């Protein structure tokens, strides 16, 4: 998760600077689109994060993590907001990240893998591993206090949980190739092993950027 977090922080920083320059490129959000949102109930309490409302926005990213004899290819949909952004301090709060990842023994030479990560259908929940247990989806929620809760922390028990991509289609955009819809329910754990039950989860978000843009 460390590499994914670093990638996310970098993209938040890129957003904050690129959105000020209208001459070179469209801003990362390409204009507010309130169709992009995540809805869920956390321990029975309704949560809705919608682009354009209360400072929330959406973007997608791709990346990979490599180590001794393994490579994790990742694609992530993010809906949330950033706080206290400066040259030395970036904090994520009120943010959901939904990551599809795939294990391989070696990393590919290009980024052609990314289009295949999202497929309509159900996915297992990935474990924090450097083998095929790492295949699947990881859901990360950063709460209002900056505490991370995710499906692959704590006991990682996801018995009875479910994640399904219900639509994945191309969009007209200078930055993004696809938008993706998914539904899910799961348990999220913090580093202390405490759990939040997430039900009635639903996300619609920009997902796969063009490789030449922000990679």
User: Would you say the C-alpha torsion 174, 7, 97, 18 has a positive or negative sign?
Assistant: negative
Query: Which residue, 44, 66, 55, is CA-closest to 95?
Result: 55
Q: Is-above-0.85 flag for pTM?
A: no
Query: Which residue, 38, 84, 86, 83, is CA-closest to 58?
Result: 38
> How many distinct structural domains can be found in the chain?
1
DSSP notation for 116-129: GT--SEEEPBPPS-
Higher per-residue pLDDT: 161 or 4: 161
Share of the chain above pLDDT 90, in %: 58
Q: Which domain holds residue 94?
A: 2-214
Residues with Cβ within 8 Å of residue 147, at least 6 apart in sequence: 190
Dump pLDDT digits (tens) for 165-207. Answer: 999 999 998 899 999 999 999 999 999 999 999 999 999 999 9
Dump pLDDT digits (tens) for 151-167. Answer: 999 999 999 999 999 99
Residue 127: phi and psi, rounded to 5, are: -100, 160
Query: Which residue, 169, 204, 168, is CA-closest to 183?
Result: 204
- pLDDT of 2 reads 41
b or e along 66-104 (b: 16 or more beta carbons within 10 Å of the residue's beta carbon)? eeeebbbbbbbbbbbebbeeeeeebebebbbbbbbbbbb
Does the pLDDT value for residue 41 go beyond 50? yes
């Amino acid at each position: 998760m460390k590499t994914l977090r670093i990638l996310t922080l970098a993209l938040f920083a890129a957003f904050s600077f690129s959105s000020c320059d209208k001459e070179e490129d469209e801003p990362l959000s390409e204009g507010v689109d309130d169709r992009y949102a995540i809805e869920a109930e956390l321990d029975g309490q309704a949560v809705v994060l919608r682009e354009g409302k209360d400072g929330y926005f959406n973007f997608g990213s791709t990346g990979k993590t490599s180590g001794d004899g393994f490579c994790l290819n990742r694609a992530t949909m993010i809906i949330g907001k950033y706080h206290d952004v400066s040259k030395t301090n970036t904090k994520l709060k009120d943010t959901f990240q939904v990551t599809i990842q795939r294990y391989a023994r070696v990393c590919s030479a290009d980024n052609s893998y990314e289009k295949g990560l999202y497929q309509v259908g159900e996915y297992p929940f990935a474990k924090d591993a450097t083998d095929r247990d790492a295949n699947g989806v990881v859901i990360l929620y950063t709460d209002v206090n900056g505490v991370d809760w995710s499906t692959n922390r704590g006991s990682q028990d996801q018995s009875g949980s479910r994640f399904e991509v219900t639509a994945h289609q191309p969009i007209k955009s200078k930055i993004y190739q696809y938008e993706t819809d998914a539904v899910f329910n799961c348990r999220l754990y913090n580093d202390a092993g405490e759990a939040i039950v997430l039900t009635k989860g639903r996300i619609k978000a920009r997902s796969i950027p063009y490789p030449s843009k922000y990679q």
